[in-house]
A and B are shown apart, each in its own frame.
Chain A
Amino acid sequence: MSTDNIILEMRGITKTFPGVKALQDVTLNVTRGQIHAICGENGAGKSTLMKVLSGVYPHGTYEGDIVFESETCEFKGIRDSEHRGIVIIHQELALSPYLSIAENIFLGNEQATRGVIDWTKTNAEAAKLLARVGLSESPDTKIMDIGVGKQQLVEIAKALSKRVKLLILDEPTAALNDEDSAHLLDLVRSLKGQGITSIIISHKLNEIAAVADTTTVIRDGLTIETLDMNGVEPVSEERIIRGMVGRSLDNRFPERSPRIGGEVLRIEDWTVHHPIDQSRKVVDGASLMVRKGEVVGLAGLMGAGRTELAMSVFGRTYGTNVSGRIFKDGQEIHTRSVGEAIRHGIAYATEDRKRYGLNLIEDIKRNITSSALGKLSRHGVVDREEETLIAERYRKDMNIKTPSVDAIVGKLSGGNQQKVVLSKWIYADPDVLILDEPTRGIDVGAKYEIYTIINALADAGKAVVVISSELPELLGVCDRIYTLSQGRVTGQLSRAEATQESLMALMTKEKEVTSR
């Protein structure tokens, strides 16, 4: 490999935070015109490495060299790196929702002459860039009016406007559905054809296997290995996982022998309308039930109405004109408020723990007890001693990695935050637990722990509903899986019957009422 082909060389990068070595002598060589994947568990140092590269951590705050296009670079900030053609697109998109696509693309880089913006030029240039990323929206459209998938494309168009040579995508498909993900990955491939080099950070190993030319695995701040994905021998997902966790996860899902009892919760003919567009049915006549000790999956593509179904059942926290009936242990119940739902023994752990699940500025113990303070208090006065003891118990039982239950939740890793969310709902002691994307954005090791917890809950006689976009996960933990498509229940499969293919077929089934 001649050095001309290397677009980026990071040599011996070491970055230390007080008490922690986040990166230790990390080396990364990226070949021009390739798609280079970086894998690693959360906290392995991927993001830190990218922050060093893009100048978020300026030169001088780390050791080692960055050589870009055969020149040693000393970036003082993100402007410097962008100037050289290195653009990073963060997981949380940095677009202004009230501005148009064109305005966002040229934000900070306005097409102006002497301070006066040339709108014709702005929109024309934007339209060209949109064509390159395959987005057929008018440049005038406001960002808030397009979906996350399209917003991601706008980000890439914005990067293209900066004459990007090296595009860094941090978890680009984390918030996208399969279709949008596929489109995005196609785009990255076609950019490769145009000579743009990409670095992709992703948890989704199947995507990496599909798109990457080279994969570098980082673990605990060290470069573990660099794998050539186009070699004779194909690199399997298991091979990458082995590098990431330092052990082979022979079984990604813990074993369980289900003991299923009688019906706990039954939902009949459940219909929910969109909160703004009230004529639109988001959930359309859905019926389903869960039994004691059973783990039931809800599979569906983005927009199938899984989360909307769960939230409308959980105290009408989503939607308008909700109709249908809910039976708990054979008795009809109503869940018009969250309080009512909790009193009937229903709990819902959200898919977006940071926005809807946790008080990030509060400590662990107060988060754990927040949904069941009534159990902890007499005459409205909280027993703080008992509270600390309970939190301590969950810290040990759930293996929440923290020195103290007084630690602020916002500072925990994703996996540990998720354990706090689960602790909170387990402490509320519900009969039915609805877990919405319980392993989103957490690393492989922590996922296994979450599955173990789900199994333990089912073994303790709880009815568990798992909503997930990852089909292998549903197949690995559920006893039975319902499929949703366009708000309708399109089928249910037992563990034995279900395969990724059979689920996908039902998940994409178009409008036609299935008889059950």
Chain B
Amino acid sequence: MTAVREYLGRNMRQYGIMGALVAIVILFELTTSGRLLMPDNVAALVQQNAYVMILAIGMVMVIVAGHIDLSVGSVVAFVGGVIGIAMGKWDMPWLLAVLLGIVVGALVGVWQGYWVAYVGIPAFIVTLAGMLIFRGLAIVLVGTTIAGLPTGFVAISNGYLPNLLGYTGNRDALTLVLGLVAIAGLVFSQVRARTTLRKHDLEVEPMVAFAGKLVLIALLLGAITWILSGATGMPIVLIIVGVLILAYTFVLGRTVFGRHIYAIGGNLNAAILSGVNTRRVNFGIFVNIGALAGVAAIVTTSRAGAAVAAAGDSFELDAIAACFIGGTAVTGGVGKVSGAMIGALIMGVLNMGLSIMNVDPSWQKAIKGLVLLAAVAFDLINKRRAAGR
């Protein structure tokens, strides 16, 4: 039992933030008299907050490497404008426009990455400039709005996967199947990782903690699946976000590129003297967040059904807040995609719950600011207590 307690103590942060999410959900579930977790609201939660999650994935990598990106909100508007014109004025097929959006986003990343990585201008300044440049360009391109986008494109953020497998009862079978696959995949990969460790007689977390964690996550995923299956279906954007989360968890945790990001953020000098090509890694990080901003632009434009020059306002702050709530270190070197996603969900649930409760948007802002501060303060106090022992 002490082993379990010790393990929990060491991973306090991770469980703490998950606990906070659950607590906030329960709180709003009570204050909205059960409306927060109604199927259509959960689907809308995902659709409305997909952009934060997508941007936070890129932002985690930027912040872990010790940089910051202030430009993503403006880039979302700019790329949105480009694809809006492509579809609205040049009649480009929407699938091609999606591709164009990602490429343009990546090119923006090339531009900013060049200044940061190869010229050595601090990212804060480069992306502050980018924030102004791309907002300006977005207004030049779009004017105010370009509406009348293809229905296929609009479905990305508003539509659902087709009901291929029919219904079991009144629930969408495809959603249930996808949920089960996700749970099975998770359990399988975790068990396999544990067995390999055991095979080599290496330390593993205590069985109780391991099983408890798996059951908890499986229950959580199961609950979300169950609720969503009662909605119109599986939101398309959830699939996109899910794939990105899996892919980037892999990139950060398992690839040499990901490892180099942590090395640079943890100790830049040591990374250089270990032979890490820091310029190339930094450049890659910015190209990457550019491309992800492109994806976020597609999702946002699709959600609005139109390219809007004012789109993406303060998205960068949402993404940065999600990272910090999720335990990414301000000084770099520490941070996980999963943490940032929980951070994004906390922001999203706050948005949703407060909206359902009809709280004035100005107050919503203030409350979100307080939550950010509280999360980081909690983290700091925790760390100090650990160090003081």
Contacts and interface: CB of A to CB of B under 8 A. Distances in A.
A248 interface: no
Chain B interface residue count: which class? 20 to 34
Contacts of B203: 403-404, 406
B273 A357 contact: yes
Contacts of A384: 254
A392 B200 CA distance: 10
A359 B273 contact: no
A361 B254 contact: no
Interface string B233-263: 0000000000000000000001111011011
Given A362-B266, A382-B259, A388-B200, A339 B271 contact: no
A392 B199 CA distance: 14
Given A380-B257, A381-B254, A406-B203, A366 B273 contact: no
A366 B257 CA distance: 13
Nearest to B250: A381
A208 B371 CA distance: 55
Interface in A318-374: 337-339, 341-342, 348, 350, 355-362, 366, 370-371, 373-374
Given A366-B262, A389-B200, A424-B274, A359 B254 contact: no
B355 interface: no
B202 A374 contact: no
B204 to A, nearest CB: 11
Contacts of B256: 373-374, 377, 380-382
A420 to B, nearest CB: 11
A361 B266 contact: yes
Chain A interface residue count: which class? 35 or more
A406 B202 CA distance: 11
Given A373-B256, A373-B259, A384-B254, A339 B275 contact: yes
Contacts of B257: 380
A114 B101 CA distance: 63
B259 A385 contact: no
Interface string B304-338: 00000000000000000000000001000110000
Most chain B CB atoms below 10 A, which of A314, A337, A348, A382? A382
B273 to A, nearest CB: 5
Contacts of B276: 338, 370
Contact of A359 (B197, B271, B277): B271
B196 interface: yes
B151 interface: no
Nearest to B274: A371
Contact of B333 (A314, A359, A388, A392): A359
Interface string A207-220: 00000000000000
Contact of A385 (B196, B262, B272): B196
Contacts, number: 89
Contact residues of A: prevailing secondary structure: mixed
Nearest to B199: A385
A8 B110 CA distance: 65
A385 B195 CA distance: 11
B259 A360 contact: no
Contacts of B259: 366, 370, 373, 382
Contacts of B263: 359, 362, 366, 370
A357 B270 contact: yes
A324 B256 CA distance: 34
A18 interface: yes
Interface in B48-87: none
A382 B269 contact: no
A388 B270 contact: no
A370 B197 CA distance: 21
Most chain B CB atoms below 10 A, which of A350, A380, A406? A380
Given A341-B275, A355-B269, 19 more contacts: A17-B389, A314-B273, A337-B277, A338-B272, A338-B273, A339-B275, A342-B275, A356-B273, A358-B270, A359-B263, A359-B266, A361-B334, A362-B266, A370-B271, A371-B275, A381-B255, A381-B256, A385-B196, A424-B274
Interface of A: 17-18, 314-315, 317, 337-339, 341-342, 348, 350, 355-362, 366, 370-371, 373-374, 377, 380-382, 384-385, 388-389, 392, 403-404, 406, 424
17 contacts: A317-B273, A338-B276, A339-B275, A341-B275, A348-B273, A359-B267, A361-B333, A362-B262, A362-B266, A370-B271, A371-B274, A381-B254, A381-B256, A382-B256, A384-B254, A385-B197, A392-B202
- The 6 A-B residue pairs whose C-beta atoms are closest, nearest first, are A359-B266, A371-B274, A338-B275, A359-B267, A339-B275, A342-B275
